[in-house]
Structures are given as C-alpha cells and as structure tokens.
Amino acid sequence: MSGRRVLVLNGPNLGRLGSREPDVYGATSYAGLVEECTALGAELGFAVEVRETNDEGELIRWLHEAADGSVPVVINPGAFTHYSYAMRDAAAQRTAPLIEVHISNPYAREEFRHTSVIAAVASGTVAGFGIGSYRLALRALAEQLA
C-alpha cells in the first residue's frame, strides 16, 4: 500500500451492510464497501484503511490516532452522529480534513436523525447517495489535499 494514508471509519451496524435494511442502505455488503473504498483510494493516490466498530470508545480512539498522525478521515458515525458529544469532541481535534458520510439522507428519515453533532466540526458532509457517498467523500478529500 502506497500513497497518503486515509482512514475510512464506520460506526455501529455498518458491518451489517447488505443484510441490514437493504431498502434504506442498499445491497452492497460491508466487504463490497471496503473493496470500493480501497480501489478508489488507490486511484486517487491514497492508502485507504477501512475500519468498522460497534464500540463508541474504539471509534474515538481511532479519531485520536488520526489527529495525532494528521491522517485525513472519512467517517460514517452511524447512530453516534446524533448524540455522541464525546465523538464530536474527538472529531474536533482533527489535524487533517474529516468528511462525514451517510448512506441514506438523514433529513428524509426520522426526526431524531436530522441532528448531527459531528457536522459542525467536519470539513463537510456527504449524504444520501448510497455507497456513492463514500466515493464522493474520497474525491472531495483528494481535492482538499491537492
């Protein structure tokens, strides 16, 4: 793996892509997401590492790792998006671009999903384009880092 290191971080339930509510999250499996992100990342000159956890503390530790190493991040915090102030505080420590992504459009869903505590400290947010949200975020990172 060569190129600029980029972390693609995924929060709770994203490891269940492909089987979890395919009408909302699509048919692409988590393995398919990993493959798409690493392939596009290589095209863009990135060494992409995709991670997934259901543990809030682990995701926060990964954000600290990224901040300490000035590593750009694409993050889908999952449900943590809406209420994890600890994750927001970790994201606020970023030392490189951080792009929030969502597979679905949170504003077209339940009202509790309309609030993101992460958005205010992110470089930007991409939502509603299915797995394509990750592709758009990686392309946006490439532009920001150019």
114 catalytic per annotation: no
Is 112:82 a contact under the CB 8 Å cutoff?
yes
Query: Of the residues 102, 107, 114, 134, which is catalytic?
Result: 102
Length of the chain: 146
- 89 assigned ligand-binding residue: yes
- 75 assigned ligand-binding residue: no
Q: Quick one: tokens of 25?
A: 């999250």
Is 76:124 a contact under the CB 8 Å cutoff?
no
- 82 assigned ligand-binding residue: yes
- 68 assigned ligand-binding residue: no
Query: Of the residues 25, 64, 83, 134, which is catalytic?
Result: 25
Report the C-alpha gap between 137 and 133 in whole angstroms: 6
- 54 assigned ligand-binding residue: no
Torsion of CA 15, 71, 135, 91, to 10 degrees: 70
25 catalytic per annotation: yes
Alpha helices, DSSP H, located in the chain: 22-25, 30-43, 56-69, 85-91, 132-145
- 104 assigned ligand-binding residue: yes
Active site residues per annotation: 25, 102
Q: Binding site membership: which residues?
A: 76, 82, 89, 103-104, 113
Q: Binding site membership for substrate: which residues?
A: 76, 82, 89, 103-104, 113
